[in-house]
Amino acid sequence: MQIVGPTINRGYQMKSVKFVTAVALISMFSLPAHAQSTERIDKRQANQQQRIDQGVKSGQVNEKEAARLQKGQARVQKMEDKAMADGKVSAKERARIEKAQDNQSKRIAREKHDKQTKK
């Protein structure tokens, strides 16, 4: 007596392989686009946070100024989170976030180079 395993129709097997391949390709190309959609914004946020931290460490930014700058960073982050809520940041949303980052960058520079020092 010969034991024969379940037989699978070759056409069905090929269709399922094609489907799995298609799903893998789609997810492979869509995930990097989603991850990179705010990569530039995230890098800039990290850079600006580093500038604030360096200013505090060197004494160029006092505690009150640092708190104000942190609040500005949080506001920009909230804008990014809101823009990403639908899964994609539109060109208009990106422009608004980048404008807010420009303003925040100017505030950081102004606070680091004013006459106030750490108390």
Q: Name the residue ranges covered by the structural domains of the chain.
A: 37-112
Residue 31's pLDDT band, with cuts at 50, 70 and 90, is very low
Instruction: Calculate what percentage of the chain has a pLDDT beyond 90.
Output: 63
Residue 22's pLDDT band, with cuts at 50, 70 and 90, is low
DSSP state of 118: -
Residue-wise pLDDT tens digits, 41-58 = 999 999 999 999 999 999
Average pLDDT over residues 33-38: 60
Q: Which of 44, 46, 35, 47 is CA-nearest to residue 89?
A: 35
On the 0-12 / 13-18 / 19+ scale of CB atoms within 10 A, 14 is exposed
Would you say the pTM of this structure is higher than 0.75?
no
